[in-house]
Amino acid sequence: MWPFRKRDERAIFRYFDGVKERAIDPIFALRALDAHQKFHFDEHAKQLLAGDFETTKIAVDAIREIFGVQPWSENSLGLTEGETLALLWKFVAYNDDIKKNISPPLTSPPPTGQNRSEPSTARPAMASGSISSAQNGG
């Protein structure tokens, strides 16, 4: 599998869904989280940490949808709500680790052609540092 020689070299997020190990492209998952209709990490993280029930339901539903996780019950395998929230925090920690270990390119990327005096209209993905600072309570 060029250019990666070992499984660990690929930036693929792996997790257990209550039945089997699964994998997801972390960029896809970040985009899906960023575009989710109800769950907005930057707005909901502190409420999650505080144990807000409505926010917990919104987050659990979003994570189940994005990661393809089924709810646990006595009749079916899956993840409990607590395990589903733990999956979110594991994903947050995974992305923080990736950010810390990425080497910047040796040369600057070519210009995008956007006029520097015009502000960007692109909506940024989760703000840099906002995930880890929210998880750490601040």
**In a domain? residue 36:** yes
**In a domain? residue 61:** yes
Query: For the residues 82-99, what does the mean pLDDT come to?
Result: 93
Domain count, the chain: 1
Cα–Cα distances (Å) from 6 to 2, 31, 103, 107, in that order, read: 10, 26, 19, 26
**In a domain? residue 115:** no
Alpha helices in the chain (DSSP H): 26-35, 41-49, 53-67, 81-101, 130-135
**In a domain? residue 93:** yes
**In a domain? residue 39:** yes
77: which residues sit within 8 A by CB, 6+ positions away? 18, 19, 70
Query: For the residues 104-108, what does the mean pLDDT come to?
Result: 64
Residue 85: pLDDT over 60: yes
Q: Is the pTM of this model over 0.75?
A: no
pLDDT band per the 50, 70, 90 thresholds, residue 102: confident
**In a domain? residue 114:** no
Q: When comparing pLDDT for 113 and 13, which is higher?
A: 13
Rounded CA Rg of the chain: 17
**In a domain? residue 28:** yes
**In a domain? residue 3:** no
CA gap 78, 15 in Å, rounded:
12
